[in-house]
Structures are given as structure tokens and as C-alpha cells.
């Protein structure tokens, strides 16, 4: 309230009070461009800011999480071994994570042209094959990722070239990541005996019969071999996959290259 000389009392609107009386800084005239410098986005390194250009930056924690892995796999080349009938999210999400961390990925398949993704029992999208399997040189890759799905690994394990391609990574100690039904490929490649791993629960007997130590965990890491059970495990799978791929070759991985199948 304010007293006038005529004895009358007037009431000031809160909007006319000096800002210091209501706890707000007086200078609110700065434009959006000026206030941006206080955001987490503008405090990131220039490389990170470029990476996020064009994205809606609403989750600061997400930005920080992604920043942790960015650049870790710069210069790394990862083969994604896959054919028709793969669980789509088990290819696309790990691929996004790998490329977000700086890796170059290539879809390698026994088929040429395109391959069919699946959303459980329903058809999903089709994806271009980057390198037909008969033209792929495993020596050019630093790591291998195999998506799951029911039909995809069942077809791959019946393809000798796919098994030989997989064996190369174990013989050279290169890291390998496999999710869901993908350990079927590892079983027929003869690289499971003596390894600790997980998979889709329904194929645990196959893993055990092949000499593997099956455990029910969202992600298992065993000297360069990363495995997970299902799509719900993808965040944990991606994190450990990037860590192992970043570390490069694992000498212990070579010891299991010729372990063979359970007899």
C-alpha cells in the first residue's frame, strides 16, 4: 500500500511492485539467445552440440548419458550378421547405439538386396543389405553383433558361411555380442563350450547341451562375449556391448574358438 498526500491509500498491483520485493531478478529483458548460455546444451563440448543439433533437448539426463559413450568407438567397424526374420528392435536399437558411439556398422547377410524385420510375429520393415555374406571379409571388422528373433538365427546356423564368418571373431579374439535366440549361431559355430552366457530362456537347454554355463541375467559379459535375453534387456545389452567393443581384442576369447560342440 502507498499513502497519498490527500490521505487516501492506494494499493499497488503486484505486477507493478519492484522485482526485488517478490524475489525475481529485475533484468528479465534478455532475449532467448542470451539465456541459452545457461542451458546444459551450451555447456557441452562443440562436438556434442553438433551431435544434438536438430533434436528436441528436453531431457538433460539423456544428453549426459549419451555424451558418456559418444566417440568411444570412433574408427571401429562392426559387422551385423543377420537375415530374414530377425527381431527388428534387436537390430535397430543396438545399431543406433553403436553408431551413436562412433562406430561404422554394416549389415552382412547371406541374402542380397533387402532383409525382412519382424515385430514378434508380425512383419516389420525391410532393410538394405550392405555386404552379401559371400563378399564379406571378416578381417575388415573389429567386432560382431548378431540380433535375435526366431527365424533369423535358425537360418544363420544352417548356413556354413555364416558360421565360418562368426568363428573368425573368436579365433582373432574380437568381441562379439548376441541377443535373444542369436546364441544358436554361436552353438553351431562351436564357440559356446566353457562360456558363461544368457539367451532367450527357451533355448537355455541348447546352450547347456553345447557346454555353455547359462544364467538368467539381463546381460552377461564373458571376456569379450556379450549376451542378453530379450528386447527388454537392450539398454543393458547396448551399454556392455559398447564397453567390450571399446576394449578391443580379448585374448581369452581365442581359447574358445575351437572348443567345439557338446558330444
pLDDT in tens, 188-247: 999 999 999 999 999 999 999 999 999 999 999 999 999 999 999 999 999 999 999 999
- Separation CA 165–CA 108 (nearest Å): 10
pLDDT of residue 133: 98
Q: pLDDT of 47-103, one tens digit each?
A: 343 433 433 434 444 444 444 467 899 999 999 999 999 999 999 999 999 999 999
What are the cell numbers at 229?
A: 535375453
Kind of pairing, strands 176-179 and 225-228? parallel
pLDDT at 27: 43
Q: Kindly report, residue by residue over 126-180, the tens digit of the pLDDT.
A: 999 999 999 999 999 999 999 999 999 999 999 999 999 999 999 999 999 999 9
Contacts 24+ apart (CB under 8 A), 132-139: 132/108, 133/81, 133/108, 133/109, 133/159, 133/161, 133/162, 133/165, 134/110, 134/161, 136/79, 136/106, 136/108, 136/165, 138/79, 138/165, 138/168, 138/169, 139/168
- Eight-class DSSP state of 66: H
Question: How far is Cα 252 from Cα 175, in angstroms, rounded to an integer?
Answer: 11
Residue tagged active-site, from 91, 180, 210, 226 = 180
Q: Quick check: is 246 catalytic?
A: no
Q: Distance between CA atoms of 119 and 125, rounded to whole angstroms?
A: 9
Amino acid at each position: 500500500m502507498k499513502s497519498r498526500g490527500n490521505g487516501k491509500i492506494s494499493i499497488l498491483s503486484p505486477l507493478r511492485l519492484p522485482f526485488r520485493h517478490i524475489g525475481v531478478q529485475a533484468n528479465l529483458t534478455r532475449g532467448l539467445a542470451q539465456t541459452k548460455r545457461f542451458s546444459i546444451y551450451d555447456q557441452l563440448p562443440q562436438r556434442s552440440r553438433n551431435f544434438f543439433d536438430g533434436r528436441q533437448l528436453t531431457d538433460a539426463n539423456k544428453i549426459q548419458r549419451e555424451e558418456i559413450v559418444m566417440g568411444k568407438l570412433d574408427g571401429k567397424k562392426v559387422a551385423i550378421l543377420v537375415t530374414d526374420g530377425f527381431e527388428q528392435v534387436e537390430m535397430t536399437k543396438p545399431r543406433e547405439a553403436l553408431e551413436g558411439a562412433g562406430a561404422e556398422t554394416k549389415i552382412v547377410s547371406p541374402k542380397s538386396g533387402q532383409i525382412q524385420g519382424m515385430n514378434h510375429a508380425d512383419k516389420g520393415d525391410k532393410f538394405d543389405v550392405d555386404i552379401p555374406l559371400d563378399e564379406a571379409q571378416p578381417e575388415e571388422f573389429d567386432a560382431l553383433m548378431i540380433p535375435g528373433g526366431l527365424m533369423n538365427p535358425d537360418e544363420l546356423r544352417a548356413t556354413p558361411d555364416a558360421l565360418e564368418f562368426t568363428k573368425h571373431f573368436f579365433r582373432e579374439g574380437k568381441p562379439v555380442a548376441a541377443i535373444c535366440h542369436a546364441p544358436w549361431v554361436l552353438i553351431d559355430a562351436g564357440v559356446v563350450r566353457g562360456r558363461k552366457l544368457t539367451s532367450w530362456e527357451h533355448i537355455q537347454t541348447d546352450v547347456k547341451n553345447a557346454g555353455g554355463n547359462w544364467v538368467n541375467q539381463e546381460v552377461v559379459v564373458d571376456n569379450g562375449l556379450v549376451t542378453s535375453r530379450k528386447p527388454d534387456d537392450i539398454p543393458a545389452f547396448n551399454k556392455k556391448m559398447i564397453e567390450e567393443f571399446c576394449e578391443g581384442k580379448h585374448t581369452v576369447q581365442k581359447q574358445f574358438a575351437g572348443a567345439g560342440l557338446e558330444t
